[in-house]
């Protein structure tokens, strides 16, 4: 059975949805910024081991690996910095809504750079996924309190611009990766290289990990397990699945749309784990997104 790029993209969104479930305890213990740096470092080790075991040749050429390096700098390092800033100024829900704009931006860039054009069915499916994602994000029960930031319009504008910049960075990174993988670069090796480079750039000691380790609560085992499990899901499986999706799909817009559905995938997972039904708006978003998935996968 051949696994299509769209199936790999859905697997990536599921990994990105599961990863944060393990991150609650370590994020509280280390602080969100320090934890993200540590998770990236752990993810790079996991990916390097997987690449050493499974990859025979790197493939591609020097320019391809320069493109992959660029995708790491833009799509992980710079994107993470902008994401943290946006979340602190406009909140997580508003940041997620702006992040969803990477889908139409990817469509535009893929058409301009790679000459990719979706069919009518694919375009309709991508549109449904996009609106389903937005509805789900807006339908979540908690989010930014606009009244607390409306008194600081300059801060609000900068936060919105940072959120928009994240979506631009992600769209650029997707096009860079696609261009590199088209030369024959191995997607698993590329995953390891991307995350390892970003981990080096992040420089975990600069994010206060040393201080965080000295103040860790006990017991330490759940924190260690949560960190490794989250790294395996987000930086490990999520990254590999995304790279395989890009490598095996003929339409980058489909991959961007499906892989960004982690907020949608989270809804049924949390319902199953907690027993708390989602809001009607969030449930509607999931239904709309599923309809879009069916169109994309079936096209």
In this prediction, residue 248 has a pLDDT band, given cuts at 50, 70 and 90, of: very high
The answer to whether residue 112 scores a pLDDT higher than 90 is yes
Check if the beta carbon of residue 110 is closer than 8 Å to that of residue 178.
yes
Check if the beta carbon of residue 190 is closer than 8 Å to that of residue 177.
yes
Average pLDDT over every residue of 56-80: 91
In this prediction, residue 243 has a pLDDT band, given cuts at 50, 70 and 90, of: very high
Average pLDDT over every residue of 201-213: 59
Cβ neighbours for 104, distance < 8 A, ≥ 6 positions apart: 130
Looking at per-residue pLDDT, the higher value among 11 and 23 belongs to 11
145-159, 190-204, 251-265: the lowest-pLDDT one: 145-159
Residue among 180, 200, 193, 183 nearest 67 (CA)? 180
Residue boundaries of the structural domains of the chain: 5-213+220-298
Provide the H-helix boundaries in the chain: 5-18, 24-30, 32-54, 62-72, 79-90, 92-99, 102-114, 120-139, 146-149, 153-181, 187-202, 209-214, 221-231, 239-248, 252-259, 262-274, 280-298
The answer to whether residue 214 scores a pLDDT higher than 80 is no
Cβ neighbours for 105, distance < 8 A, ≥ 6 positions apart: 167, 168, 170, 171
3-state secondary structure of 217: coil
Question: What confidence score (pLDDT) does residue 147 get?
Answer: 40
The answer to whether residue 151 scores a pLDDT higher than 60 is no
In this prediction, residue 148 has a pLDDT band, given cuts at 50, 70 and 90, of: very low
The span from the CA of 233 to the CA of 40, in Å, is 11
């Amino acid at each position: 059975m051949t696994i299509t790029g769209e199936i790999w993209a859905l697997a990536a969104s599921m990994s990105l949805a599961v990863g944060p479930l393990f991150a609650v305890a370590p994020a509280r213990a280390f602080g969100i910024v320090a934890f993200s740096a540590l998770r990236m470092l752990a993810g790079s080790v996991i990916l390097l081991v997987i690449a050493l075991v499974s990859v025979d040749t790197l493939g591609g050429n020097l320019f391809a690996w320069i493109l992959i390096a660029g995708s790491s700098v833009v799509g992980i390092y710079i994107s993470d910095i902008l994401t943290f800033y946006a979340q602190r100024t406009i909140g997580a829900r508003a940041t997620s809504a702006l992040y969803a704009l990477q889908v139409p931006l990817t469509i535009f860039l893929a058409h301009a750079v790679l000459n990719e054009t979706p069919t009518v069915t694919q375009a309709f499916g991508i549109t449904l996924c996009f609106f389903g994602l937005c509805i789900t994000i807006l339908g979540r029960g908690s989010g930014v309190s606009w009244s607390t930031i409306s008194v600081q319009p300059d801060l609000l504008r900068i936060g919105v611009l940072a959120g928009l910049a994240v979506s631009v960075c992600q769209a650029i990174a997707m096009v860079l990766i696609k261009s590199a993988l088209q030369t024959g670069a191995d997607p698993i090796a590329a995953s390891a290289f991307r995350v390892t480079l970003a981990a080096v750039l992040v420089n975990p000691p600069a994010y206060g990990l040393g201080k965080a380790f000295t103040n860790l609560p006990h017991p330490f085992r759940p924190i260690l397990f949560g960190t490794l499990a989250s790294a395996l899901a987000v930086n490990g499986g999520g990254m590999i699945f995304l790279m395989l999706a890009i490598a095996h799909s003929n339409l980058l817009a489909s991959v961007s749309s499906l892989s960004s559905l982690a907020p949608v995938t989270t809804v049924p997972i949390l319902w199953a784990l907690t027993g708390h039904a989602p809001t009607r708006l969030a449930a509607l978003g999931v239904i709309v997104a599923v309809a879009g998935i069916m169109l994309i996968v079936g096209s």
